Structure 1
Amino acid sequence: MDRRAFLRAAGLAGAGTVFAGCSSTGTTTPGGQPTTTLPLPPTTTTVIVPPPPPNWESLRARISGTLLLPGEKDFDTARQVYNPLTDTRKPVAIARCETPEDVQACVALAAESKVPIAARSGGHSYAGYSIPESGLQVDLSEMKAITVRPDGTVRIGAGARLTDVYTELAKAGKCLPAGSCPTVGIAGLTLGGGIGVLSRKFGLTCDRLDAASVVTADSRIVEASASAGADLFWALRGGGGGNFGIVTEFVFGTVPAPALTVFTMRFPAGSTTDVLGAWQQWIGTTPPELWSNIIVVGGAQAPSCEVSGCFVGSPGELNGLLAGLKVRPSSRVVQAKEYLDGMRFFAGSSQRQSFVASSRMLPGPVDPAKITRVMTGRPGLDLLVDALGGAVADLAPSDTAFPHRKAFASAQIYMKTDAAGAARATTQVGEVRDALTEFTGATGYVNYIDPTMPDWATAYYGANLPRLQQIAKSVDPNRVFAFPQAIPQSAS
């Protein structure tokens, strides 16, 4: 018997006992006082009315874009994102939106019918959260207009991808610090912070954000900036995609597109400990114009490594800086690049790729010998350590929602795999992530979101978590935008 049924039964039993020995006339208590029979209080029953089922045909008629349902042409292709390991996730509908009003209609339907909803821009969510299981996927890929304005700002639709952003900016002689993979969406990148190869010189992508248009859980379009909706604007700069609404458009400030010099250095087998130790000492002495990373490649025996980077300046200046790295490479390539070609140098493949990944944020240099031991016997697993500092650290951790302003570097643990090897890869990645905890504590980069990350809310948001919780509760009290690693709302 549940608690409600028990209380009801107990209440009725008590009433029956009282009234069995009493009547409304001529009844007295043992002390001789007359009694009055009181009527039973009305019994109340809570009736939970289920939400109405989503009316997909009504939504189809309301939007200017396209609605796809299971079994319809292109549905199975449209739901796929970058990582094929997420192909098992299946939405119940995909709305290819073309206008902010289309997005409003989608959010209104999801809120009314309690259907999970998630936006998709580039589709690089590491955990596949842009494919809401049994929910409505809001595909923003058609909302991709990019307009560079006379004042040097750029208006970018939330569906734009980095390859198009860089191309249009280069035509206008402008630069926006952003990521490297060409098919990454500007929306997810910005909302999680936006680490890239120009971060040390020009800051994170979110640091260049001037304003954003957001469809909130009540299906209103809200303009968020430093002067309007300041709390929401703060949260959008590093608070993670999918937590506060669906952004339909961004306005960024730009800088003049710089000439760049890129470089790659490879090192002989067995030198990883020496190279990592030297690189950590060296990068901390270089100016913010230089960004660099070191990739430690796991091996069946000892790991190997390579160092790459990007410099805002000439090859001659860069060569002078590289001389300070006190290890000798087995090969070195240094090339001058125009801005667009420099971005393409780091682009990598745009093809779909199966992988498992996680991250940590390094507060300072780590023991290189321990890293070598951790990466030994792990063929196929890469540890990518990207230098931070410079302009990233110019802001305080609380100035935006991105909390890792004072980190020395980010560390991404990445392993290519297929479906058959995914469980093993998840274990391997988790072991390296947990080994790094000795140096990092509970930290991580939300744009490398990991479903198995311990204490993930603290790892991704640090001391900014309580404020983010309050903002999430304020703008989405009914958790329309809930997903497994959505910001947990505070109890207060």
Structure 2
Amino acid sequence: MCSGPERGLVSAGTVGLSFAPSWAAGTDRAARVPWDRLERRLRGSLVLPTDPDYPRARHLALLQFDAVSPQAIAYCATENDIRECVLFARHHALPVTPRSGGHNLAGWSTTTGLVIDLSRIAHVTPGADTVRVGPGAQAVDILAALAPHGMQIPAGLCATVCPGGFVTGGGIGMTTRVGGLGADRLVSARVVLADGQVVHCSEDRHSELFWALRGGGGGNFGIVSEFEMRPTRIQRVAGYNLAWPWDRAADVTRAWQEWTANGPDALGGTLDLLLTDAAEGVRPLALVGGFLAGPRAELETLLDQLCSLVGSAPTSRETREQSYQAEMMSLWGCSGTAAECHLEGDNPVATVPRHEVIVATGRLLADPLGTTDTEAALAALESGRHAGQFHNLSMYALGGAAGRVRPDETAFVHRSARFFTGYSAGFLHADDVRAGRAAAERWVDDGMLVIDPHRSGPAYINFPDLKLPNWQTSYYGANYPRLRRVKRHYDPDAFFHRPQSIEL
């Protein structure tokens, strides 16, 4: 289950795929391609529109992209399977897209051509100083595999997100302040290029490609078949959840930004200003949560400081000390086993439901919202009431270790960002989607005009926004020309392309 920004900002629903072909159209196109030749070369399996597994195989994490009909989905079992898919697609001029966890927020995990599914390349192999993981290993499974070794690698606030997209886009998580971004923990990667060549890149080999993979966004330069990561070793953490009444929301927002920006690196957290139902008369909530990679006593002192900055005691205050694994499972909303914390349909015991539609976008902020902007942001949250929807303004604490990396040291340029923030809207009932989606999109757009009046501010490629007028600068800043040089060298024909791909 997703929470925090990856619950509240789960999908850039104001954007999406411009194509939505019918299932029958996918069948007709697929019939003209000699898929049996590819199937014979795979250790994994190939699913076509005529197969009974096809409806499930084309699913992403969000139901809003179910209308897209790939010609085929290849479940790759090995690195060579990826290579065979790439060469086959090139020969038959098929569009391709890699799919790890299927969470891409603009629907870029699917295509009308060949989906190269990586979910079966999901190994987690701890070593003495590094961990090797497959691109399709889900965060909850990585957590379970590494916990006995006292290791972790960065994860977001959604249990079923995978490294394939998370790391290559930067990788913001609850340990960003104490351990850096996911991209900052990358030691090396194996990559299948557009010509079928497999390269092993690191600081010493194919160093420009290695640089680009750390924040340049997934599906731009090749398909990563394995990540080698440098783990953190956080044994126990102190978790916290606090709530204030809505009439203190402005004070909480101001205080939380100051508190997190000036807090120790070990402190991670989120602020959610949440309407659980945007019907008239429902009062929003001001919620603060996260954990400290340290003892509970230190956390209590820090929370006393936050309450002092707010100027009033919260209506509820909960703290706990437990293992990192237990805290992350709680944060994800996982009360059972790792297998149960998979999306429904992934395995017989999976319980996490797929979202219908969620509309969201966000920006990276170097400075706190001032008094005027805070008041305007809260007013925007309360506007556009629509029963049956949830509305949320989220803020996610950044800085710390991630902020001490030079902007040009990796492709992730936004090293001065101290917060990731944005608006999101979702639906409490599936029947409300058709009638309410346009209103939800207007509400999100109106809110973002407060945070980013020209819709041109710093943005996070893992939360894509197709309405950005100058996405090259918003995502990549001064690093974009270098990314283009890497693209021209490693993918000179732009075989890997999608909306907002790195240009040649």
Q: Same fold (TM over 0.5)?
A: yes
Structure-2 residue corresponding to 1:361 = 364
Runs (5+) with no aligned partner, structure 2: 1-31, 335-351
Structure-1 residue corresponding to 2:451 = 436
1:197 and 1:292 in contact (8 A); partners too:
yes
How far does residue 128 in structure 1 lie from its aligned partner after superposition? 1.0
2:125 and 2:133 in contact (8 A); partners too:
yes
1:363 and 1:406 in contact (8 A); partners too:
yes
2:192 and 2:223 in contact (8 A); partners too:
yes
1:339 maps to 2:324: yes
1:168 maps to 2:134: no
How far does residue 343 in structure 1 lie from its aligned partner after superposition? 1.2
Structure-2 residue corresponding to 1:471 = 486
Q: Read off the aligned partner of 1:144 and give its amino acid letter.
A: A
1:305 maps to 2:311: no
- State how far apart, in whole Å, the 1-side matches of 2:369 and 2:456 are: 12
Give deviations 1:296-317, integer Å, cap 9, x for gaps: 1245466431111210111110
Q: How does 1:121-132 map to 2 (within 5 A)?
A: 121-132=100-111
- State how far apart, in whole Å, the 1-side matches of 2:450 and 2:120 are: 42
Q: Once superposed, what is the RMSD of the aligned Cα atoms?
A: 1.8
How far does residue 456 in structure 1 lie from its aligned partner after superposition? 2.1
- State how far apart, in whole Å, the 2-side matches of 1:348 and 1:471 are: 40
How far does residue 441 in structure 1 lie from its aligned partner after superposition? 4.7
How far does residue 439 in structure 1 lie from its aligned partner after superposition? 9.6
* Among candidates 188, 197, 201, match of residue 220 of structure 1: 197
Structure-2 residue corresponding to 1:184 = 161
Structure-1 residue corresponding to 2:181 = 204
- State how far apart, in whole Å, the 1-side matches of 2:422 and 2:79 are: 34
Give deviations 1:64-120, integer Å, cap 9, x for gaps: 111111121211101101010111111110000001111001111122222110111
Q: Read off the aligned partner of 1:125 and give its amino acid letter.
A: N
- State how far apart, in whole Å, the 2-side matches of 1:378 and 1:342 are: 35
Q: How does 1:201-350 map to 2 (within 5 A)?
A: 201-298=178-275, 299=278, 300=280, 303-325=284-306, 326-327=309-310, 328-348=313-333, 350=352
Give deviations 1:119-177, integer Å, cap 9, x for gaps: 11111011111111x2100111111011111x221110111000001111101111212
Structure-2 residue corresponding to 1:72 = 51
Q: Read off the aligned partner of 2:287 and give its amino acid letter.
A: E
Q: Secondary structure at the match of 2:474?
A: helix
Structure-2 residue corresponding to 1:148 = 126
Tell me: higher relative CO, structure 1 or 2? Use CA pairs within 8 A at least 6 residues apart: 2
2:121 and 2:136 in contact (8 A); partners too:
yes
Specify whether residues 435 and 344 from structure 1 end up closer, same or farther in structure 2 by C-alpha distance, changes over 3 A only.
same
- State how far apart, in whole Å, the 1-side matches of 2:331 and 2:439 are: 29
Q: Secondary structure at the match of 2:196?
A: coil
How far does residue 460 in structure 1 lie from its aligned partner after superposition? 1.3
- State how far apart, in whole Å, the 2-side matches of 1:484 and 1:440 are: 18
* Among candidates 13, 26, 38, match of residue 59 of structure 1: 38
Number of equivalenced pairs = 436
Q: Read off the aligned partner of 1:98 and give its amino acid letter.
A: A
Q: Secondary structure at the match of 1:413?
A: strand
- TM-score w.r.t. the length of structure 1 is 0.85
- State how far apart, in whole Å, the 1-side matches of 2:196 and 2:46 are: 18
2:456 and 2:470 in contact (8 A); partners too:
no
Runs (5+) with no aligned partner, structure 1: 1-52
Give deviations 1:312-363, integer Å, cap 9, x for gaps: 1111100101111122211011011101001112114732113122111111
* Among candidates 351, 354, 370, match of residue 352 of structure 1: 354
* Among candidates 116, 131, 156, match of residue 138 of structure 1: 116
Moved segments of 4+, more than 6 Å: none
- State how far apart, in whole Å, the 2-side matches of 1:440 and 1:322 are: 35
1:361 and 1:440 in contact (8 A); partners too:
no
Q: Secondary structure at the match of 2:423?
A: strand
Structure-2 residue corresponding to 1:410 = 420
How far does residue 440 in structure 1 lie from its aligned partner after superposition? 8.5
Q: Structure 1 vs Structure 2: percent identity of aligned residues?
A: 36
Quick check: 305-314 or 408-417, which moved more? Answer: 408-417
1:303 and 1:372 in contact (8 A); partners too:
no
- State how far apart, in whole Å, the 2-side matches of 1:438 and 1:304 are: 25
- State how far apart, in whole Å, the 2-side matches of 1:455 and 1:432 are: 20
1:360 and 1:440 in contact (8 A); partners too:
no
How far does residue 470 in structure 1 lie from its aligned partner after superposition? 1.5
- State how far apart, in whole Å, the 2-side matches of 1:222 and 1:434 are: 43
How far does residue 438 in structure 1 lie from its aligned partner after superposition? 4.2
How far does residue 450 in structure 1 lie from its aligned partner after superposition? 2.3
Specify whether residues 378 and 152 from structure 1 end up closer, same or farther in structure 2 by C-alpha distance, changes over 3 A only.
farther
* Among candidates 67, 78, 86, match of residue 107 of structure 1: 86
Give deviations 1:13-55, integer Å, cap 9, x for gaps: xxxxxxxxxxxxxxxxxxxxxxxxxxxxxxxxxxxxxxxx642
Q: Read off the aligned partner of 2:173 and give its amino acid letter.
A: G
Which structure would you say has the larger Rg? 1
1:397 maps to 2:407: yes
Structure-2 residue corresponding to 1:462 = 477
- State how far apart, in whole Å, the 2-side matches of 1:255 and 1:475 are: 31
Q: Secondary structure at the match of 1:294?
A: strand
1:363 and 1:440 in contact (8 A); partners too:
no
Specify whether residues 119 and 344 from structure 1 end up closer, same or farther in structure 2 by C-alpha distance, changes over 3 A only.
same
1:273 and 1:372 in contact (8 A); partners too:
yes
Q: Read off the aligned partner of 2:331 and give its amino acid letter.
A: F
- State how far apart, in whole Å, the 2-side matches of 1:331 and 1:439 are: 38
Q: Read off the aligned partner of 2:294 and give its amino acid letter.
A: G
